[in-house]
């Protein structure tokens, strides 16, 4: 295994997320979501739980004119989104607000994106009703959630390694990413909020990281899981990272941390009409 010291990263978690995890993971899902959404110039689009704004920025490149608003509850994510809003995305609006109380009038948008966010909302039915409220008649929602964690091998192996090395329950945040993994429950939530013409696609992306060690270090520095190592001094932190990486490699039958880490990641992609 490589010396853990070479993987030290600088910058805030939100900046690291945008720099490393967006191109490796979320940009892949955003591209797929937008390609199947049939965007129209002049449309009014809401990107809900926008994070650092990859969906909104890609949408802006497609439609050029219209209105695009990115909403998130995380101040630091929004700060990065604003800083990245250049070129075609310079006119995207960014707003800090809760998905449970959207600060918009009824029938404000033609299309709402919610990429990999619904599973985190504390009141999912209310969030979906809010989406429907602010959609125009015949407006559409396009959202995605991860399927079961066992369908994404690296995530599953990481969760087990976290519990083994940091204590039972350490994987709660990682497992919560897959918290809405029952397709029937997802369908019932969306239709229960009043949407119809529901379609659910099972989509798999191929995710790549330079090594297992890089994947572990980014997961524990560029996501909320960074809190698991907070307060640990350098040597102790590196020891834990190395142990977690070793467990993950063993689970995935990877012999060397110099090898590229490649794994499938599965999600449900949902489209529905008001």
E strand or H helix that includes residue 62: helix 54-63
What pLDDT score does 77 carry?
Answer: 95
Rounded to an integer, what is the distance from CA 64 to the centroid of its chain? 24
Q: How far apart are CA 209 and CA 155, in angstroms?
A: 13
Residues near 253 by Cβ (< 8 Å), separated by ≥ 6?
none
What one-character DSSP code corresponds to residue 22? Answer: I
Q: How far apart are CA 266 and CA 151, in angstroms?
A: 6
What pLDDT score does 64 carry?
Answer: 82
What pLDDT score does 155 carry?
Answer: 98
Contact between 57 and 84 under an 8 Å Cβ cutoff? The reply is: yes
What pLDDT score does 2 carry?
Answer: 30
Q: How far apart are CA 242 and CA 252, in angstroms?
A: 15
Q: How far apart are CA 181 and CA 98, in angstroms?
A: 23
Number of DSSP helices (H) and strands (E) in the chain, helices first? 10, 7
- Could you tell me the end-to-end alpha-carbon distance of the chain, in angstroms, rounded to an integer? 52
How do the domains of the chain map onto residue ranges?
Answer: 4-273
What CATH number does domain 4-273 carry, 3.40.980.10, 3.55.50.30, 3.40.50.150, 3.40.50.1100?
A: 3.40.50.150
Q: How far apart are CA 155 and CA 264, in angstroms?
A: 10
**How long, in residues, is the chain?**
274
* 3-class secondary structure, 232: coil
pTM: 0.92
Question: CA–CA distance from 40 to each of 45, 88, 148, 215 (Å)?
Answer: 10, 15, 33, 37
What pLDDT score does 66 carry?
Answer: 92
E strand or H helix that includes residue 266: strand 261-273
pLDDT block averages, 10 residues each, the chain of length 274: 31 90 98 94 96 97 93 95 92 97 98 97 98 97 98 98 97 97 98 98 98 97 94 93 98 94 98 98
Q: How far apart are CA 8 and CA 11, in angstroms?
A: 10
Side-by-side strand order, sheet with 93-96: 93-96, 67-72, 44-48, 109-115, 135-146, 261-273, 196-209
What pLDDT score does 88 carry?
Answer: 85
Contact between 73 and 98 under an 8 Å Cβ cutoff? The reply is: yes
């Amino acid at each position: 295994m490589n010396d853990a010291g070479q993987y030290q990263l600088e910058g805030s978690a939100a900046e690291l997320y945008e720099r490393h995890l967006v191109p490796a993971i979320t940009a892949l899902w955003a591209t797929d979501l937008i390609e199947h959404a049939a965007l129209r110039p002049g449309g009014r689009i809401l990107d809900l739980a926008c994070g650092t704004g990859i969906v909104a920025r890609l949408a802006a490149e497609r439609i050029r004119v219209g209105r695009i608003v990115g909403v998130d509850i995380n101040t630091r994510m929004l700060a990065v989104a604003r800083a990245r809003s250049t070129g075609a995305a310079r006119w995207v609006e960014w707003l800090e607000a809760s998905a449970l109380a959207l600060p918009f009038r009824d029938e404000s948008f033609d299309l709402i994106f919610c990429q990999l966010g619904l599973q985190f909302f504390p009141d999912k039915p209310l969030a979906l009703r809010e989406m429907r409220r602010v959609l125009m008649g015949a407006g559409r929602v396009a959202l995605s959630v991860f399927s079961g964690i066992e369908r994404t091998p690296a995530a599953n192996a990481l969760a087990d390694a976290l519990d083994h090395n940091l204590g039972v329950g350490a994987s709660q945040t990682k497992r919560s990413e897959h918290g809405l993994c029952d397709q029937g429950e997802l369908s019932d939530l969306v239709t229960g909020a009043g949407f119809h013409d529901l379609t659910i696609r099972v989509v798999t992306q191929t995710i790549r990281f330079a090594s297992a060690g890089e994947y572990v270090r980014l997961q524990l520095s560029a996501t909320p899981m960074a809190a698991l190592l907070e307060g640990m001094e350098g040597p102790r932190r590196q020891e834990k990272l190395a142990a977690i990486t070793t467990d993950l490699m063993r689970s995935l039958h990877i012999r060397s941390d110099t090898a590229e880490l490649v794994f499938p990641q599965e999600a449900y992609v949902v489209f529905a009409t008001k």
